[in-house]
Amino acid sequence: MRKLIAFDDDTFDKLKQLGHDRMATLQELADEAFADLLKKHGIPVDLKDALRKSAALPKEGARAKTGFTHSRKSGS
């Protein structure tokens, strides 16, 4: 999907120079920047990240759904 993003002249010149220095396109710089922004806010970038994040969720939610508890009643 294509979207139009505006930069002021100074920022655009710096991005072009950074791309030139790193031998990267403006698209590659933008992809990296947006991936970092999503990561910063805890939003998975791709399916692999989403699966990793869901596997790391605390187990408390699963116990609450099943009603399972660790308490024992005495048998006297």
User: Is 57 part of any domain?
Assistant: yes
Tell me how many domains the chain contains: 1
User: Is 42 part of any domain?
Assistant: yes
Residue type, 30: A
Q: Measured in whole angstroms, how far is the alpha carbon of residue 20 from the centre of its chain?
A: 27
Q: What is the pTM of this model?
A: 0.62
Q: Quick check: 38 and 45 in contact, CB under 8 A?
A: yes
- Please give the average pLDDT of every successive group of 10 residues along the chain, which has 76 residues: 94 98 97 94 86 77 54 54
The pLDDT of residue 47 is: 84
User: Is 23 part of any domain?
Assistant: yes
User: Is 50 part of any domain?
Assistant: yes
User: Is 20 part of any domain?
Assistant: yes
The pLDDT of residue 41 is: 93
Domain carrying residue 26: 9-66
